[in-house]
Amino acid sequence: VNVALVCADQGGAEKVLMQETSNLVGAYSMRLKGSPDMRRCFARVVGSPQGNWCTASAGPARSLSPSVSMFGVSFYTVDSLLLQPARPMSFCPKSLNPRPAHPVFPAIPPLPFLQPSACPSR
Query: CB of 56 within 8 A of CB of 45?
Result: no
Query: CB of 49 within 8 A of CB of 2?
Result: yes
Q: Mean pLDDT, the chain, as a whole number?
A: 75
Check residue 47 and give left, alpha or beta (phi > 0: left; psi -120 to 50: alpha).
left
Kindly state whether residue 32 falls inside one of the protein's structural domains.
yes
Q: Can you count the helices (H) and strands (E) in the chain?
A: 0, 8
For 32-88, write each residue's pLDDT tens digit: 777 777 888 888 888 775 555 566 667 777 777 777 777 877 787 787 777 666 676
Domain count, the chain: 1
Please give the DSSP secondary-structure letter assigned to residue 95. Answer: P
Kindly state whether residue 42 falls inside one of the protein's structural domains.
yes
Kindly state whether residue 77 falls inside one of the protein's structural domains.
yes
Kindly state whether residue 93 falls inside one of the protein's structural domains.
no
Kindly state whether residue 74 falls inside one of the protein's structural domains.
yes
Give the residue numbers spanning the domain of 6. Answer: 2-83
